[in-house]
Structure 1
Amino acid sequence: MEKFKSIFKVKNPIIGMIHVQALPGTPKHKYTIKQVIEMALEEARVYKKAGIDAILIENMHDIPYIKNGVGHEISSIMSLVAYLIKQETNLPIGMQILAGANKEALAAAQTASIDFIRAEGFVFGHVADEGYIDAQAGELLRYQKQISATSIAIFTDIKKKHSSHAITQDVSLLDTAKAAAFFLTDGLIVTGSHTGHSASINDLNHLKDNIDSPIIIGSGITIENISNYLPLCDAMIVGSHFKKQGHWDNDLSYDRVAEFMSLVNQLR
């Protein structure tokens, strides 16, 4: 909880997603590097103007994803984008590099002097559409120590969306959360089964009653359900709802972000 509180200065911070356009070498890459950077910066400006609390950048357009590792052409650009967004907004900034490229994200975050990363495959293992994602906590935290990046928080997905958890079906969400806490996570990210799908309220209540680590809802939050979910977590990551028509691939909507943040400020 200590790192969480040092990063976020407001109660129940809302973390807005920036899905960076497809990067060099990936099948959907079509914009110049300058255009990719400027598009991400413009979304950051919209978020800042609309009153967002923090920003998380992610290479979601780089489909299909490479499992566990990416090239320097990806991590270097993500680092540059993150650095410029941090300078532009002075907000808490985080990064995720898909799929499971947690060491690359940590290195890029350290270079960019940002605040946190979102890591998948921290404890246990699961099967995603990229293949089998194995646990990385031990390797990742040792690498964090080696590159002197211990000030960067590592928030970790448990029972991650878009994945099969049949091999750990006898391990409950709570037991997974306890394992992540034992392995020194800085926060637990709980999602629904897919992007835009809500997490289980029963699961969140169970975690809240039994876990001291910060709980971050990672999908499915909308202006219609925010009042139900805000009391159950310490932070929320919101992406799809902030886009036009509520779809992650559309342009960011200032009006949707501003209306959402106005309601959040009333609730908290």
Structure 2
Amino acid sequence: MNLQQIFNTTQPIIGVVHLLPLPTSARWGGSLSAIIDRAEQEAVALVSGGVDAIVVENFFDAPFPKSRVDPAVVSAMTTIVTRLRELISIPIGINVLRNDSLSAMAIASCTGAAFIRVNVLSGVMATDQGVIEGCAYELLRYRRELGSDVKILADVLVKHAQPLSSSDLTNAVRETIDRGLADAIILSGAATGSPPSIEDLRLARAAAGTTPMLIG
């Protein structure tokens, strides 16, 4: 994968549109139009701030299911992304928390989004949602079935989780790329807003080789 082809830069800054609670989530407020209005405001603000792309995620739906989300969430996110695609011209990505990669791929493929973020593509992670297993086998087959070119940006040893398989960062990066077939990897710290260490960045960059790496 060449980042330049998607983001028009090799060092993209990707802003996040954190959606208000969606239908069927624990804090759903009953108004989809309010969610759309907030998403549009965030997207426009991010574009005005100079980001190269945005990723849309159901951030406020916590507590999350560990795999498939409710169909209403998929429908709502599809509606929102379609509206944002009409409003802004920069690339859009999708993240369906906690790890519903198939729904993310479906939304992205049907709306013309450029990429998805997958929390656990490879390996096994213990999370507050329970044990989450890698989904590479199903996701790569599904992308092929859809005839889609949506890129897969995969977390390595994702935040808010502990590995139940290998905790070796170098090995995890290589597995995610060589066996999970990620188009790019994402390295973050232990929690949202917590950066990875410089040493971890160096290890991951060396292990990734020519595969692009982003900092979450």
Task: Please tell me the TM-score bracket, short chain as reference.
Answer: over 0.9
| Aligned 8 A contact 1:19 1:59 in 2 | yes
Distance 1:75 1:210 in 2: 35
Aligned to 2:160: 162
Task: Write the deviation string for residues 28-84 of structure 1: whole angstroms up to 9, x where unpaired.
Answer: 111511111111011111111221111011101001101100111001111121122
Larger Rg: 1
TM-score, length-scaled by structure 1:
0.77
How far residue 156 of structure 1 moved from its aligned partner, in angstroms, is 0.3
Q: Which amino acid aligns with 2:124?
A: G
The normalised TM-score by structure 2 is: 0.95
Q: Distance in 1 between matches of 2:186 and 2:126?
A: 18
For residues 196-249 of structure 1, give each alpha carbon's deviation from its aligned partner in whole angstroms, at most 9, with x where no partner exists: 11111101112223322111111xxxxxxxxxxxxxxxxxxxxxxxxxxxxxxx
| Aligned sequence identity (%) | 29
Partner Cα separation in structure 1 for residue 195 and residue 186 of structure 2: 12
Q: Which amino acid aligns with 1:159?
A: L
Alignment partner of 1:199 is 2:158: no
**1:19 maps to what in 2?**
18
* Greater relative contact order (Cα < 8 A, sep 6+): 1
Q: Distance in 2 between matches of 1:209 and 1:143?
A: 30
Aligned to 2:134: 135
Q: State the secondary structure of the residue aligned to 1:18.
A: strand
Match of 1:185 in 2: 182
Gaps of 5+ in 2: none
5 Å matches for 1:1-268? 1-2=1-2, 4-149=3-148, 151-165=149-163, 167-168=164-165, 170-182=166-178, 183-211=180-208, 212-218=210-216
Residue 171 of structure 1 and its aligned partner are, at CA, apart by: 4.1
Unaligned runs of 5+ in 1: 219-268
- RMSD after superposition: 1.2
CA contact (8 A) 1:19 1:57 kept: yes
Q: Secondary structure at the match of 1:84?
A: helix
| 2: CA distance, partners of 1:25 / 1:13 | 33
Query: CA contact under 8 A between 2:95 and 2:116: conserved in structure 1?
Result: yes
Q: Report the number of matched residues.
A: 214
CA shift for structure 1 position 186 = 0.6
Runs ≥4 residues deviating over 2 A: none
1:55–1:91: 8 Å Cα contact kept in structure 2?
yes
CA distance in 1: counterparts of 2:50 and 2:67, whole angstroms: 34
